[in-house]
Amino acid sequence: MNLPLFILLHLAFIMVDGLVTLSMFTALPGSIFLARLFGVTAGYIFLAVAIHYVARTHTAGKTLAIVISFISACVSFGLFALILTRNPMIQWPVAFAAGSIAALALAALGYIRATRVAGKSL
């Protein structure tokens, strides 16, 4: 799996995450943090399955890509929660965008570093 495909899968993860978060928050008004947790979980499951079926490498490469994606998803949710708790006047889509962009950058840099250390494409 090459870097553009990895980034494209993460962009699809962000879309699934945002749509599930929006639908959970509109259908069940309550805590945005709970809705985002459902969104991150659904998006990560989608991403892990997509990486498993798209990656044409051995198991170690798939596992490393899935671990990088998991760390990125945790960072995305953590930044989202941190931004909203530190400044409650910010609307949640802005915090979602900031956390998602930062997590995408982290995932891309982590993938580049992992491929450099492994010496080949994951």
Mean pLDDT by 10 residues, the chain (122 residues): 89 95 90 93 93 76 88 95 93 95 95 83 62
pLDDT reported for residue 117: 84
- The domain containing residue 79 runs over which residues? 3-118
Q: What is the DSSP string of 6-67?
A: HHHHHHHHHHHHHHHHHHHHHHS-S-HHHHHHHHHHHHHHHHHHHHHHH--S-HHHHHHHHH
Residues 100, 3 contacting (CB under 8 angstroms):
no
Number of domains the chain contains: 1
* pLDDT at res. 29: 82
Crossing angle of helices 3-27/59-86, nearest 10°? 40
